[in-house]
């Protein structure tokens, strides 16, 4: 039974709703049982189907747009600390950055994560675009 508390004209009522069988509900109000007949409506039942998940974006060749971790040297690479979607890249190739500068915004688990340069230098290359999905360890950009 589901229990509810209602306040009507200053009086508190404890209402417990039990089984509903053939349009008759078993209801208990302040410990007193009642059989309540529900109003029948002839309106058709509308079935709502769950929305389908959107497909991952694909390139013109049909491959999924997901940057995978590279096996190369990561000495100057800024890598994704966790999987997510690139929201924005506030730097361009050739920009000079400090270690604490934000070089990329990554959305992961519905939160925005600021990715910092981690070292002083100049942006040598940017390997992702806004909207790309990246895996943990994927090289986002490189710093010289």
Q: What is the pLDDT of residues 14-24, one digit of tens each?
A: 999 888 888 88
| pLDDT of 73 strictly over 60 | no
CA 6 from centroid of its chain's CA atoms: 36
pLDDT in tens, 34-54: 998 887 766 666 766 666 666
User: pLDDT: is 59 or 7 the higher one?
Assistant: 7
Against a cut of 0.95, is the pTM above it?
Answer: no
3-state secondary structure 28-83: EECCEEEEEECCCCCCCCCCCCCCCCCCCCECCCCCECEECCCCCCCCCEEECCCC
User: Percentage of the chain with pLDDT > 90?
Assistant: 47
Q: What pLDDT score does 37 carry?
A: 87
pLDDT in tens, 83-98: 999 999 999 999 999 9
Say which residue the tokens 């910092």 belong to.
116
Give Rg (Cα) of the chain: 29
Q: How far apart are CA 13 and CA 6, in angstroms?
A: 5
Helices (H) and strands (E) counted in the chain, each on its own, are: 0, 13
Q: What pLDDT score does 54 carry?
A: 64
| pLDDT of 63 strictly over 90 | no
Q: What pLDDT score does 68 carry?
A: 58
Nearest Cα to Cα of residue 29 among 5, 47, 54, 48? 5
Q: What pLDDT score does 70 carry?
A: 54
CB 25 within 8 A of CB 38: yes
Q: How far apart are CA 142 and CA 95, in angstroms?
A: 12
């Amino acid at each position: 039974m589901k229990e509810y508390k209602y306040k009507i004209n200053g009086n508190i009522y404890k209402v417990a709703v039990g089984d509903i069988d053939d349009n008759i509900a078993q209801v208990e109000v302040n410990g007193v049982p009642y059989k309540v007949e529900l109003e029948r409506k002839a309106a058709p039942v509308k079935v709502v189907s769950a929305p389908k998940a959107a497909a991952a974006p694909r390139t013109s060749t049909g491959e999924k747009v997901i940057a995978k971790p590279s096996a190369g040297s990561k000495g100057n690479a800024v890598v994704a600390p966790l999987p997510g979607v690139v929201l924005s890249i506030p730097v361009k190739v050739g920009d000079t950055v400090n270690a604490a500068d934000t070089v990329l915004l990554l959305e992961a688990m519905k939160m925005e994560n600021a990715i910092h340069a981690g070292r002083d230098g100049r942006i040598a290359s940017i390997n992702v675009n806004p909207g790309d999905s990246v895996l943990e360890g994927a090289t986002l950009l490189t710093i010289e």
